[in-house]
Structure 1
């Protein structure tokens, strides 16, 4: 297989796994509490991370004690915080709503980068940000833009989006010296430990898991292995091969795959969701300069 085809296949697979995560989590709503679901998912993901690490046995960068001051809080925020908010959101919002809100993550990350990393934002990018946020407003208000009421599940998903975006930007600001896979493994382990402790303490996760159906465990296994470990590894390899700017456009496929799974399940989106998706995707495309205004004769001559 051509190397470029292989790379793009991995990138698209990662967005398929992430997109279907929303459908999978929505299917669990009502059967398992949020912390318990997240804990089982990331216990499985952590086992895979550790198994692969032991299998490869390669030397890694030596971490210092001060690195714990970065890895622990980011693990608590990006794994524990994000997943608690994510599973809470899926108990009271649709998979497509959640995926569209999460599609704002790259744009929110840019806004945070402007503050934390002093990254400039151009005029065209502001237009893209405005379009995408308008699309999400359309989705969470159900098309009634004059009503500022936001459903509880959508609010939780906004929290999850903020947590993930801050985790992404803070990793660049405070942990750029740690190799990506090593950073991912340690933050996942920290977040998993916090999820397990919180689930056992607050939700009595043992009895809940014992009474869960085999289907629920299968869904969480899929989310842990495919929607967790494999999605991250495939995405990381793709970014390393072709660069983050080219790979970023594929992230727009996440809500598209969520929609396709919905359609396969016989769930038809309403008009506000379709219009919101168009606006969000257009906003992200404009932001990444994949949709440009026609150049003037003078601009074409430059």
Structure 2
């Protein structure tokens, strides 16, 4: 894969768009399908996608040691099974935008994990950018009325999803940094998919539910599997490996912005405060990533 920094950032932003639209998609089908069944179908499709990529890839991959397999097993259960079960469960009782806001807290959580697990020192400009982005996200979601936020059951599930996703991102760098991103993604998705399917078979009735779902629900799940899982995971993990989790995860602040933009495309007009919030989010992401205008870089040099 390319090491071009602008292209890597583009891949990270694309993955946040896929995930941002996933909140809208998941919320749209929440009333028709239960959490484990939805997650199981989504990742069964995603698993097929990764296996097809491997089939056409053809080249040899890294030899995994027993320790690597244990790490991948843990990360697959945490980052794929844990996150997706919490994600679909949350969307049954909270809004897409509220869920996206909570996931935007991932940079803060990931920075804490990075400071603990990796040789990472949190710098002042990162604190500043994260605070600005968090304020922007809060404006986007609440319309300026911060009192609207409360810890409901759906919000609590999304907080758990945020926690396990951040641990998955940082853990991939700490414990599996030597495993190529595509190989890592395929293994963790495969493990998570198997766990989701087994859990669905034990707890729910997917073999009865899935055939009765509407065509539109299957189409949404296919989108969430191909773009929101296969391409998003590949792009995101490439960004994590190239940029480091403490930087790549900051772009997660774009997720609620894309969720809002999808709402706009569906006919929901944003308030002026929501537009201001999007500007703050983008500004916070740029500051936290260390970006400076070209002029200031020339002056500094």
Query: Which bracket does the TM-score occupy, shorter chain normalised?
Result: 0.7 to 0.9
Aligned-pair CA distance for 1:248: 6.8
Aligned-pair CA distance for 1:84: 0.8
2:211 aligns with 210
Aligned-pair CA distance for 1:14: 3.3
Provide the rounded CA distance (Å) in 2 between the counterparts of 1:147 and 1:253.
Answer: 21
User: What is the root-mean-square deviation of aligned Cα atoms in Å?
Assistant: 3.3
Instruction: Structure 2 unaligned segments of length 5 or more: list them.
Output: none
Provide the rounded CA distance (Å) in 1 between the counterparts of 2:284 and 2:185.
Answer: 29
Aligned-pair CA distance for 1:116: 1.2
Within the alignment, does 1:158 sit opposite 2:167 as a pair? Answer: no
Which runs of structure 2 are paired with 1:27-42 in the superposition (5 Å)? Answer: 27-42=28-43
Q: Answer yes or no: is the 8 Å Cα contact 2:140–2:257 preserved in 1.
A: no
Aligned-pair CA distance for 1:218: 0.8
Q: Deviations over 1:11-62 (max 9, x none)?
A: 5543332221111111111110111111100000001101111222211111
Provide the rounded CA distance (Å) in 1 between the counterparts of 2:35 and 2:260.
Answer: 23
Structure 1 window deviating more from structure 2 (4-13 vs 282-291): it is: 4-13
Instruction: Structure 1 unaligned segments of length 5 or more: list them.
Output: none
2:113 aligns with 112
Provide the rounded CA distance (Å) in 1 between the counterparts of 2:145 and 2:250.
Answer: 29
Provide the rounded CA distance (Å) in 2 between the counterparts of 1:90 and 1:38.
Answer: 12
Distance of aligned partners of 1:142 and 1:159 in 2 relative to their CA distance in 1, 3 Å threshold: farther
Aligned-pair CA distance for 1:228: 1.1
Aligned-pair CA distance for 1:122: 1.4
Distance of aligned partners of 1:135 and 1:65 in 2 relative to their CA distance in 1, 3 Å threshold: same
Aligned-pair CA distance for 1:208: 1.6
TM-score, length-scaled by structure 2:
0.83
Q: Answer yes or no: is the 8 Å Cα contact 1:101–1:161 preserved in 2.
A: yes
TM-score, length-scaled by structure 1:
0.83
Q: Deviations over 1:182-216 (max 9, x none)?
A: 11111111110110011111112221212211111
